[in-house]
Amino acid sequence: MDPTTGIALDVVYSSAIWFEPALATAERFAALGREVHVYHFERVAPGAARSGERAMHTAELPYLFGVFQPGAHDPTDAAVSAEMQHARSGFARSGVPCFLDGERWPRFDAAAPRHAVFGDTTAVRSLT
């Protein structure tokens, strides 16, 4: 299979198995009046990129805990890890996750859905 076909299949599979159910769950909880925050992890560490991997389910766990394989990660990974740890600990303390610069993650709104993104940098993006 050529890489382009593999990437296209990965996007379709990821959308059907992970993204759409997560979005439906966020919509349901928001409709119940619950405060919902959504994020997407898309960082691919250099070691993973060398082997042709992409961001996948559970790929954010080393970033969340700050534990990396030697030689497989770079300073960008450390920065993304610091952002994730800050957001999660802030959420545990206050119920509102935010980036290191103080920007709050948006509360999920089904009419104008936005989410936090962890890639080579962090950002808030529209889901539409």
Domain ranges of the chain: 37-126
Could you report the per-residue pLDDT of 52-101, keeping only the tens digit for each?
Answer: 787 888 899 999 999 998 889 999 999 999 999 999 999 999 999 999 99
Through-space distance between the first and last CA atoms of the chain, rounded to whole angstroms:
30
For range 100-104, the mean pLDDT: 95
- Confidence (pLDDT) at 1: 57
- Confidence (pLDDT) at 66: 95
Could you report the per-residue pLDDT of 1-40, keeping only the tens digit for each?
Answer: 566 776 677 666 677 778 889 999 999 999 999 999 999 9
Q: How far is CA 106 from CA 1, 33, 70, 113, in A?
A: 39, 15, 34, 9
